[in-house]
Structure 1
Amino acid sequence: MAEEGKSTVRAVERALDILICFTAGKDLVMTEIAERTGLHKSTVHRMLATLEDKGFIERDRVTDRYRLGMRVWELSAHLSRTDDPAVIWQPEMERLRDKLGETVSIYVRDGSERIRIQAVQSNQPVRRVAPIGARLPLYAGASSKVLIAYADPLVREEIFGDPSWLFTIDLDQYKMQLADITEQGYATSFEEREPGAAAFSAPIFGREGKLVAALSVSGPASRMTMDKMRDAAPILLEASKRMSTMMK
């Protein structure tokens, strides 16, 4: 019994050693992880598969490189750390809220869902309340479009093929919309997921120009008309650029 307990603790130590490998902030291939941890490749492979299944690790299926997964972001949303991106970004989010007067949120993708990891509420009496940690489907909303538009092509196809995807969506038209988003740099949504609500969103990039998160401004559709969102787009894009710089 004691030997079994020791084995279980060792498995936890190995999993944590693998996660610690990513403190340098770069994506790694399996051989690099094995070298850094001193573990056999077969052990690393098993550990990575479990961590990926639980959302703590993500594998880029194009380059076969690993990175920290969205579960880490979800946990960090409940921490107060000066090096947490959600905390680092908050002053910029507050400035954006003060300029536009609406609720500002940060979303990251986790499989076929998006997670709100940070939010700054509007000060207006009628506003959209954005609870941190909320999970929403990827098939609707401005931030969802950003998270899909700037994802790797293989990831996009996996999203479209997921059973949770809304199959009533015309994929050809949707892909054309995604192309427009990458060209103009931001996405909009008007009563797509929720009646009476509107939002627009821009990408936040990290090292090597990789998508990190989506910056979103949301509010009542009566205030956030399409014309107003287009007029405010330069302000949103400038904020997202500054937040991207913080990640480099």
Structure 2
Amino acid sequence: MEDGKLTVRAVERALDILLCFTESEDLSLTEISARVSLHKSTVHRLLASLEGKGFVLRDAASDKYRLGFRIWELSANLNHSDDPALILLPDMERLRDQLDETISLYVRDGMERVRVQAVQSNQAIRRVAPIGARLPLYVGASSKILVAFAEPQVQETLMEGPAWPPGLERSAFLQKLDEAKTLGFATSVEEREPGAAAVAVPIFNRAHRLVASLAVSGPSNRLTLEKMMEHAPVLMEAARRMGKMLK
């Protein structure tokens, strides 16, 4: 039994190492060690195993690691036919050109939201968050959308869970969810990070099931509340079009 636990722990640690590359293209041993909170010798052994199987590659010149060919072989067998991140990308690009701000697509994964697609603004000052970024569900415009239009048990689990911030009033949060359902959109101004604002709307598929949150984000001094109110109808119309493309 002890050997089994050690094996599972080694697998979890190896996966944690691979997940480091969701935010960076290449990383040194020191950087990976810091991110997974493991000793360098342990990380080095795991990297050697991953390298041997082709899941990571080491650049001898820079002594940095990056994802290997096995990752791409696995991804080639993904079924992309129903993937909103790919299907909706052209429409997201058009929306970016129309609103001149960053457009993001978020889905709920348990008690977190994940940024599965993004089209960055062409403006010099813009919000940049990596695809694959995981964020809490209790803060931000897209979080309100993903919780407000989800099943009631999602709200209960979120508010009763260990990650719920002690200082966040449940009644105030529920009021924001009700507002989002009534208006059909949600806004946030410097809720998650200083100087950032966003407006988000739900995307429902043809079966009227919530699929994702579509958001416009940018610096709060440019994406003012007035500007977000102007963007909201445009965003909702875009979400209706996108939803018709999804099963």
TM-score (norm 1): 0.66
**Alpha carbons of 1:124 and 1:177: their partners in 2 closer, same or farther (altered >3 Å)?**
same
What residue is the counterpart of 1:145 in the other structure? 144
**Residues 206 and 244, structure 2, Cα contact 8 Å, conserved in 1:** no
Q: How does 1:58-69 map to 2 (within 5 A)?
A: none
Instruction: Provide the residue aligned with 1:212 in structure 2.
Output: 211
Q: Which aligned segments of 4 or more residues in structure 1 are displaced greater than 6 angstroms?
A: none
Contact 2:105-2:118 at 8 Å conserved across structures? yes
**CA distance in 1 between partners of 2:174 and 2:82 (Å):** 36
Deviation at 1:95, TM superposition (A): 1.0
Contact 1:145 1:187 in 2 (8 A): yes
CA–CA distance in 1 between the matches of 2:170 and 2:163? Answer: 14
Q: Letter of the aligned partner of 1:194 in structure 2?
A: E
SS in 1 for 2:106: strand
For residue 159 of structure 1, report the CA deviation from its aligned partner: 1.1
Map Cα deviations across residues 186-221 of structure 1 (whole Å, 9 max, x no partner): 000000000000000000112431111100111000
Identity of aligned residues (%): 57
Q: Scaled by the length of structure 2, what TM-score is found?
A: 0.67
| 1:208 counterpart letter in structure 2 | A
1:238 deviation in Å?
A: 0.5
Whole-Å separation in 2 of the counterparts to 1:85 and 1:139: 23
- Structure 2: how far apart are the matches of 1:196 and 1:170? 23
Query: Structure 2 CA distance, aligned partners of 1:167 and 1:137?
Result: 14
Task: Give the drift of 1:167.
Answer: 2.5
1:115·1:134 contact (CA, 8 Å) conserved in 2?
yes
Q: What is the aligned partner in structure 2 of residue 104 from structure 1?
A: 103
Structure 1 residues 79 and 190, CA, compared in 2 at 3 Å: closer, same or farther? farther
Alpha-carbon offset, residue 79 of structure 1: 6.5
| Aligned length in residues | 173
> What value does the CA root-mean-square deviation take over the aligned residues?
1.9
Aligned pairs for 1:83-232 (under 5 A) are 83-232=82-231
Distance in structure 2 (CA, Å) of the matches to 1:216 and 1:151: 17
- Structure 1 spans left out of the alignment, 5+ residues: 1-74
The secondary structure found in structure 2 opposite 1:209 is coil
Query: 1:82 and 1:206 mapped to 2: Cα distance?
Result: 14
* Cα shift at 1:232: 1.4
On the 8 A contact 2:188/2:199 being kept in 1, the answer is yes
Superimposed CA distance per residue, residues 43-101 of structure 1 (whole angstroms, 9 cap, x where no aligned partner): xxxxxxxxxxxxxxxxxxxxxxxxxxxxxxxx97x969454221110011011111111
C-alpha distance in 2, partners of 1:169/1:111?
Answer: 20
Alpha-carbon deviations, 1:132-163, whole Å to 9, x = none? 10111111110000001001111210111111
CA distance in 2, matches of 1:119, 1:80: 20
- Provide the C-alpha distance between the structure 1 equivalents of 2:168 and 2:124, rounded to a whole number of angstroms: 35
